[in-house]
Structures are given as structure tokens and as C-alpha cells.
Amino acid sequence: DQQVKQNSPSLSVQEGRISILNCDYTNSMFDYFLWYKKYPAEGPTFLISISSIKDKNEDGRFTVFLNKSAKHLSLHIVPSQPGDSAVYFCAASADSGGSNYKLTFGKGTLLTVNP
């Protein structure tokens, strides 16, 4: 039973355009959401996060939107750059009374930004 779903295995966009990566979750206990980026032969790198008390968080070219009623979040990258080409993982965490508890990941979306 996958609690975090990334239904698009891959996405291809042109340099300079917007990339939108989507993520759905089923567990209503999740209250913190993160996006990680992973290059081949490297571990996932934290990109941006959002708490369930917010509906938007922005960091430079990256913006994450959270729609709690739809249990959906998305990552927007504007403008997209070739260096953004990587696998993007959506992850979620439930409040268990403390920080740093386990992360539940989606299967990832391979983003390719073409020059």
C-alpha cells in the first residue's frame, strides 16, 4: 500500500520553461512534506519542504504547493535549467511527538531539462 504516490515516472521540459512535479498521499496523519533531488551515484539531497499549516513555500526557483483537502502537493521549478535534470522524490512525515521520524517516499519522477 503506497502512501505517497508520484504517478509520473518521467517528465521532459525545455530549458527556461516551468517544470511541475506532482505528488499525492493517502495518509491523513502526514503533516510535513519534503522534496529531495537525486543524481546518479549520489544520495538524495534535500530541496524544499512544507508544513501542513501552510499551503505554499518558496525558495528561489523552487516553490512547493500543498492542497490538504485533495491530499496533493506539487513542486514548481521556474525557470528550469539543464542542471535540474535528476530524479525528484516526494516524501512525507507524520508527527509522532518529535522531529526526525521516518520519511515515507514516493517512487520518484525523472526530470529531464533539454537545452
Q: Distance (Å, rounded) from C-alpha 11 to C-alpha 110? A: 6
Q: Does the footprint of another protein cover residue 12 (CB under 8 A)?
A: no
Q: Does the footprint of another protein cover residue 42 (CB under 8 A)?
A: yes
Q: Restricting to residues 59-98, which ones interact with another protein according to CB under 8 A?
A: 89, 91, 93, 96, 98
Q: Is 69 exposed, middle or buried (0-12, 13-18, 19+ CB in 10 A)?
A: exposed
Q: Does the footprint of another protein cover residue 49 (CB under 8 A)?
A: yes
Closest among 98, 90, 4, 3 to 46, alpha carbons compared:
90
Q: Distance (Å, rounded) from C-alpha 89 to C-alpha 47? A: 10
Q: Does the footprint of another protein cover residue 20 (CB under 8 A)?
A: no
Q: Which is nearer to another protein, 32 or 62 (CB)?
A: 32
Q: Note whether 36 and 46 are within 8 A (CB).
A: yes
CB of 32 to another protein, least distance (A): 6
Q: Which residues here bind another protein, judged by CB under 8 A?
A: 4, 6, 32, 34, 36, 41-46, 49, 51, 89, 91, 93, 96, 98-108
